Amino acid sequence: MRVRRSFPTAGAALVIAVALGLSSGCGDLSRGELSRGVESLSALAAQGALVADGVRRDATKATYARAMARTLGGEAEHEAEKLADATPAPEGERERDAAVRAAADLADLFSELQIFPADERRGARVQHQMHEAEEEINGIVVRLTGEEP
């Protein structure tokens, strides 16, 4: 599953680190990691738009929308922190900063959804903004990889 890793033992983490080091070129790793991080932001935005769509159509349960927004917002925040802490290659610095801003914006949108999970008007606005954020993030992916996500 494409979830954040937190292996329980240092030994297992070491094995993974060695395996990753062997299976990928170290020079491209930070750029690859950066683009993967940005892609997961795009996935979060797409999922957020679906949750917001339920709120917009009054087709969801408020507790569900709130809990999902909390979880996804937490993931966006975590991604923002991870990207901000990383030291990218010089040519990726601008994209990294843009991604951190996009992640922070996403987290804000999820916060709004979390606070107003039954407000259809806000749901429509958040959905629209999620789509905009997704497009912006996809633009970053294109700049990083040269490929459409």
Partner 1 sequence: VKSILKIALGIIAAIGGFLDIGDLVFNTQAGALYRYDLLWAVALGTLGIAIYAEMSGRVAAVTGRPVFDVIRMRMGYGMGLVALIASTAVNVLTVAAELGGLAIVLELLFDAPFSLFVIVAAIALVLVVALLPFGGIERLFGYGGLLLLVIVAVAFHQDPEWEEVAKGFIPSFTNSLLYFYFVMGVFAAALMPYEVHFYSSGGIEEGWTEENLRENRLNAVVGYAVGGVLACALVVISGYLFHPLGVEPNDLGTVALPAQSAFGETGLLLGLGGILFCVGGAAIDSSFSASYNLAQFLGWEWGRERGPDKAPRFTASWLIFLLLALLIVESGINPVEITEYAVVFSVVALPLTYLPILLVAGDRSFMGRHANGRFSSILGWLYFGVIVVLALTAVPLLLATNGGGG
| Number of residues written out for the chain | 149
Q: Least CB distance from residue 72 to partner 1, whole Å? A: 8
Q: Least CB distance from residue 66 to partner 1, whole Å? A: 6
Rg of the chain (C-alpha set): 17
> Tokens at residue 47, please?
């999922």
Decide: 89 and 33 in contact? Cβ < 8 Å.
no
Q: Is 87 helix (H, G, I), strand (E, B) or coil?
A: coil
Nearer to partner 1, 62 or 93 (CB): 62
Of 75, 74, 72, 93, the C-alpha closest to 84 is: 93
Q: Least CB distance from residue 61 to partner 1, whole Å? A: 6
Nearer to partner 1, 61 or 121 (CB): 61
Q: Least CB distance from residue 90 to partner 1, whole Å? A: 25
Burial class from Cβ neighbours inside 10 Å (0-12, 13-18, 19+) for residue 27 reads exposed
Q: Least CB distance from residue 121 to partner 1, whole Å? A: 18
Cα 91 to Cα 102: distance, rounded to the nearest angstrom: 19
Nearer to partner 1, 9 or 90 (CB): 9
Cα 49 to Cα 129: distance, rounded to the nearest angstrom: 8
Q: Return residues touching partner 1 (CB under 8 A).
A: 1-6, 8, 15-16, 19-20, 23, 36, 39-40, 42-44, 46-47, 49-51, 53-54, 57-64, 66-68, 71-72, 75, 149
